[in-house]
Amino acid sequence: MLGFVPGNLSLYKLAFRHKSVAQNIKKGVKNSNERLEFLGDAVLGSVVAEVLFKLYPYEDEGFLTELRSKIVSRNNLNQLARKLGFDKLIEYDSRMLNSSRQGSLLGDAFEALVGAVYLDKGYDFTRSFLVNHIIKSHVDIHTLEQTESNFKSKLIEWCQRHGKDISFDLVGNEEGESMKLFTVQALIDGEVMGQGKEFSKKNAEKLAAEKACENLGI
């Protein structure tokens, strides 16, 4: 499935073990994939950063940061892990999780797998594996580049779909030395779901929408 022969098999088994079925190996420590996920997330971030740095020599760091976050988003990694057939490999206890939480198991396991490959084979191998076996075949960078990452419209669509009211309220307005600082809250059915503070009202709204998306897990 991965295109190479694993060395230390126990690392790969660990990568697919969700904490809901993990056992205590020491006080408070479980043999779940969470530590590997921490490591793999970092290695993946570094590999993707280099790929984008070289692929887009004339784009600034704002562009690179945004595109990377689309590539490593939970949503994208979940899809990727499903394509790779990880849903058949992950050990978990379905009674412990509701369906929305089950969704992120896949992306989490993908990151943990990257951590396992790194510990087993080192950075250069992991980079080649990710570039040649994963990114080239399964990640359409140029389509992601075009993808809507406008949190405001995403949030508005979500509210329409779920029959909820949404409003953006300007709740603060501070005079800075040379600029004004605006505070905007995103309210959904009257409840504050996100707040943003920025030097323009538009950007404060964007930030509030982003926070609300985060809080709602959209």
* Residue ranges in contact with a second copy by CB under 8 A: 26, 28-30, 34-35, 37-39, 41-43, 45-46, 48-50, 53, 58-61, 64-65, 95-96, 98, 118, 122-124, 127, 171-172, 176-178, 185, 191-195, 197, 211, 215
Assign 178 to helix, strand or coil: coil
Specify the 3-state DSSP secondary structure of 172. strand
Q: Beta-carbon neighbour count of residue 86 at 10 Å?
A: 22
Judge contact between 47 and 134, C-beta under 8 A: no
State phi, psi for 14 to the nearest 5 degrees. Answer: -60, -35
Is 148 considered catalytic here?
no
169 annotated as belonging to a binding site for a ligand: no
Q: Residue 142 CB, nearest distance to a second copy (Å)? A: 19
Residues paired with 170 in a beta bridge = 184
Q: How far is the CB of 34 from a second copy (least distance, A)?
A: 4
Our CB check for a second copy shows the closer of 56 and 156 to be: 56
Q: Rounded to an integer, what distance in angstroms lies between the CA atom of residue 218 and that of residue 214?
A: 6
Q: Is 111 labelled a binding residue?
A: yes
Residue 205, annotated ligand binder?
A: no
- Three-state DSSP class for 136? helix
Taking the least distance from each CB to a second copy, the nearer of 83 and 200 is: 200
Q: Which of 34, 87, 93, 111 is catalytic?
A: 111
* Alpha carbon distance 59, 61 (integer Å): 7
CB of 42 to a second copy, least distance (A): 4
- Spatial distance between the Cα atoms of 74 and 92, rounded to a whole number of angstroms: 18
Closest to a second copy by CB, 7 vs 122, is 122
Say which DSSP state 189 is in: T
Nearer to a second copy, 25 or 83 (CB): 25
**Which among 34, 41, 93, 175 is annotated as catalytic?**
41
User: Is 34 annotated as catalytic?
Assistant: no
Q: 68: how many CB neighbours lie within 10 A of its CB?
A: 18
Query: How far apart are CB 78 and a second copy at their closest, in Å?
Result: 19
| Residues belonging to the active site | 41, 111
Annotated binding site for Mg(2+): 37, 108, 111
